[in-house]
Amino acid sequence: MQTDTTTTRGHVMVVDDDALFLESVSTNLSNAGYRANAFLGGEAAVKYLSESPSADLLLLDWKMPGMTGIEVMHRLRADNIDIPIIFLTMLSDQIYEEAGLLGGAVDFIEKSRSFAILLRRIELILGGEKTRAAKSAPDGRDTFTRGSLTLRYDSRRASWQQTDVDLTLTEFNIVAYLVENAARDVSYRELYDIVHGEGFMAGDGEIGFRTNVRAFIKRIRQKFRDVDAHFTSINNYPGFGYRWRDGSEQ
């Protein structure tokens, strides 16, 4: 099953094994002005994105027969398809949320929440993606270098000691923000806004967004350590946030 309704606010894919849920969400998205594609299961969605990776956002059911939501995400990331993912789930245990975030998802939303809440989160995420995609380096150039780090804003790629670091778009934006503000401590809230957009709140209030940010930082650090086992440039300030420090400052 694949349905497609075309409008102008953005292109959202919806993947679920419940046909009635797919129809309801897709219809609501269409009425809200979005182009909506509905996929009954993960295999069809992966095939579609592999052939035409042009969607703006993926709404993905966590628990599906065959290919689960987390397996869909891993397949897409393995194919370097960096579409923002919101997991739709009936599960509330924090362990599942962390697993999704560490895999590169941008949010977790319970299916019991109203469509109005889902719509607001879609608007915030897509609005933030457009703003970040237009951003250039601090000096206005396409490439910015600080110590061992090079950021290429034109392609949203990063390298450490002249070796590419396989960051997603969201991870690149977090690193870029830390580097651009290296002279000060950056709060959890600021980094959360980089991911979700200002004013967004998911999970269990302040605890929820700190958990969210920590998951992203953990994943980013590991990717740098895959390149350099001695990487220590992202420092934690417990209870507040993080700071980027060059090797000469450590």
Asked if the model's pLDDT at residue 154 lies above 90, the reply is no
Q: Decide which of 29 and 249 is more confident.
A: 29
According to DSSP, the residues that pair with 164 across neighbouring strands are 159
Handedness of CA 112, 116, 122, 125 (dihedral sign): negative
- Please indicate, yes or no, whether residues 95 and 183 belong to a single structural domain of this protein: no
- Please indicate, yes or no, whether residues 58 and 172 belong to a single structural domain of this protein: no
Q: For residues 206 and 226, what is the distance between their CA atoms, to the nearest angstrom?
A: 31
User: Which residue stretches of 147-244 are H helix?
Assistant: 169-180, 188-196, 205-227
- Please indicate, yes or no, whether residues 128 and 147 belong to a single structural domain of this protein: no
Packed helices 69-78 and 94-102: angle between N→C axes, nearest 10 degrees: 20
Q: What is the DSSP letter of 66?
A: S
Asked if the model's pLDDT at residue 193 lies above 90, the reply is no
Q: How many helices (H) and strands (E) does the chain have?
A: 8, 13
48 SS3 class: helix
- Please indicate, yes or no, whether residues 122 and 149 belong to a single structural domain of this protein: no
- Please indicate, yes or no, whether residues 62 and 23 belong to a single structural domain of this protein: yes
- Please indicate, yes or no, whether residues 123 and 44 belong to a single structural domain of this protein: yes
Give domain status of residue 174, yes or no: yes
- Please indicate, yes or no, whether residues 148 and 121 belong to a single structural domain of this protein: no
- Please indicate, yes or no, whether residues 11 and 66 belong to a single structural domain of this protein: yes
Task: Give the sheet arrangement for strand 149-152, strand by strand.
Answer: 143-146, 149-152, 157-160, 163-165
169, 176, 188: which is closest to 241 by C-alpha?
Answer: 188
Q: 157-161, 165-169, 198-202: which has the highest mean pLDDT?
A: 157-161
Among 133, 162, 179, where does a domain finish? 133
* Kind of pairing between the strands at 2-5 and 35-40: antiparallel
* Contacts of range 108-112, beta carbons closer than 8 Å, 24 or more positions apart: 108/202, 108/203, 109/202, 111/21
- Please indicate, yes or no, whether residues 37 and 118 belong to a single structural domain of this protein: yes
13-63 pLDDT, tens digit per residue, is 999 999 999 999 999 999 999 999 999 999 999 999 988 767 889 999 988
Instruction: Tell me the residue type at 225.
Output: R
Global model pTM greater than 0.75: no
For 43, other C-beta atoms within 10 Å of its C-beta total 16
Q: For residues 41 and 17, what is the distance between their CA atoms, to the nearest angstrom?
A: 5
What domain count does the chain have? 2
Q: What is the pLDDT of residue 214?
A: 87
Look up the domain containing 236 and give its range.
143-249
Give domain status of residue 138, yes or no: no
Among 133, 152, 177, where does a domain finish? 133
Q: What is the pLDDT of residue 121?
A: 81
- Please indicate, yes or no, whether residues 127 and 147 belong to a single structural domain of this protein: no
* Contacts of range 141-146, beta carbons closer than 8 Å, 24 or more positions apart: 144/176, 144/179, 146/179, 146/182, 146/246
- Count the residues in the chain: 250
> Rounded mean pLDDT of 151-176?
87
